[in-house]
Each structure stands twice: as structure tokens, then as C-alpha cells.
Amino acid sequence: MSKSFRKKNRFRYILFYKPYGVLSQFTSETGQRSLKEFGPFPPDVYPVGRLDADSEGLLLLTDDDTTKHRLTDPKYGHPRTYLALVENKPNEEDLEKIRNGIVVSGKRTMPAEVTLLLNEPSLPTRSAPIRYRKNILTFWIELTLHEGKNRQVRRMTAAIGHPTLRLVRTKISFLGLDGLKSGEHRELTDEEIHHLRILVSG
């Protein structure tokens, strides 16, 4: 990155396509893979929210604390979009429960958008085999959430009787995985940074 870009933008913003089995942090006390092996990253950047080790997809890393707060605090309602591979075919009644909010661990989730996909999305092969069960069909759904509770998508799909077998976050607000392969990262463009600052200033 050029020196002029660093002078022009005080903070750093990085998109990372987190692979399966990688922790959303730079250290690991258990021997699991961490973000550290995919760098180098600028100092003092940290993920905005987290993805579980067994989930994949988009992470935004930054040293901008205001952006971290605005994107993760549910009261601001910034959307996050996921693709989930689930057991059996959810019907409209199942999906409507998610759309209206569903009780998970004693608390009702915020309303979410969810769609049953007619075609399998184009995703890289996962590094670890997916746990399929004999004679049980699988289907992909796309969900957009406006909050980020721990393992929320998995708990929501389990609550309607369709456990999630694979989970990929594809978007954080307007930012997506386009142009990134699993394990790759890139800095946001000037235009993306400008758009992001407008988004979190509201």
C-alpha cells in the first residue's frame, strides 16, 4: 500500500475470507489455526465481530473502534448475510419463523430475511468433509441478520428442525467476498472506505 494512502486514511480496513477451522483471532492456545498465519496484517487491527472456527467467510479487520462498535451493536441494525447448508428442505412455515423472530436460548431473535435457494451457490470446497447423514437431503438457504448473537444461525436453523452443516458469511453490509479466495485478504478501496464511513456515521 502506498504511503499517500496511509496518510490520507488514518485507519486501516481489511477484508479477509476466513477458511474453515481458523479462529477469528491472532493467537491460539489450543493449537488451532489463527489469523496470524494468513498475514502479515497491520498492527492493531482486529476483527469486527467473529466467526466460529467451524464457520467460513467474510471478516472485516480494522483499528477503527467507532466502526467496530457501530457494525456490531444491534441497535444500529447493520445487516450480515450468510449461506447455510441445512438438513432436509425447510418449508415456508419454517422460514416464516425465522423471518418473524424465533426463541433461541430463552431469547427471541430479531426478524431476519431468509430464502430457500433453488441452486447450489458457487463456493470453494471445504477443507474438512461435511458431516452428511445417509438418506437425508441437504438444501442451501440465504439469511440476512441484523444482530450477531453467538452461533445464532446454527441455533436458529436447529430450532426449526434443520441443523446447519456448513455456514459461510458472504456479506457485512455492502461489503462482500467478491474477488477473494479462501485465505486471502485485501485492503478496502478509497471508495469503500468513504461508503463505510457514511454508513457508520448515521
pLDDT per residue as tens digits for the range 65-118:
989 888 888 778 789 999 999 999 999 999 999 999 998 888 899 999 999 999
DSSP assignment of 108-162? EPPP-EEEE-SS----PPPSS-----TT--EEEEEEEES---TTHHHHHHHHTT-
Indicate where the chain has its CATH 3.30.70.580 domain(s).
Answer: 3-73+176-188
Catalytic residue, chosen from 44, 52, 64, 94, is 52
Q: pLDDT digit of tens for each residue in the chain (202 aa)?
A: 333 344 455 899 999 999 999 999 998 878 889 999 998 898 899 999 889 999 999 999 999 998 988 888 877 878 999 999 999 999 999 999 999 999 888 889 999 999 999 999 999 988 888 887 878 899 999 999 998 777 899 999 999 999 999 999 999 999 999 999 999 999 999 999 999 998 888 6
Q: What burial class does residue 99 get, using C-beta atoms within 10 Å of its C-beta: 0-12 exposed, 13-18 middle, 19+ buried? A: middle
Class in CATH terms, 3-73+176-188:
alpha beta
pTM above 0.85, yes or no: yes
Indicate where the chain has its CATH 3.30.70.1560 domain(s).
Answer: 77-172
User: Is the separation of the CB atoms in 104 and 155 below 8 Å?
Assistant: yes
CA angle 178, 119, 155 (to 5 degrees): 80
In three-state secondary structure terms, 166 is: strand
Which phi and psi (to 5°) does residue 97 adopt?
Answer: -60, -40
Nearest Cα neighbor of 31 from 41, 39, 23 is: 23
Contacts of 15 by beta carbon, 8 Å cutoff, 6+ apart: 58, 59, 60, 61, 175, 177, 180, 185, 186, 187, 188
Domain 77-172 grouped into CATH 3.30.70.260: no
Largest CA distance in the chain: 58
C-alpha cell at 42: 497491520
Number of other CB atoms surrounding residue 78 within 10 Å = 20
For this structure, is 190 an active site residue?
no
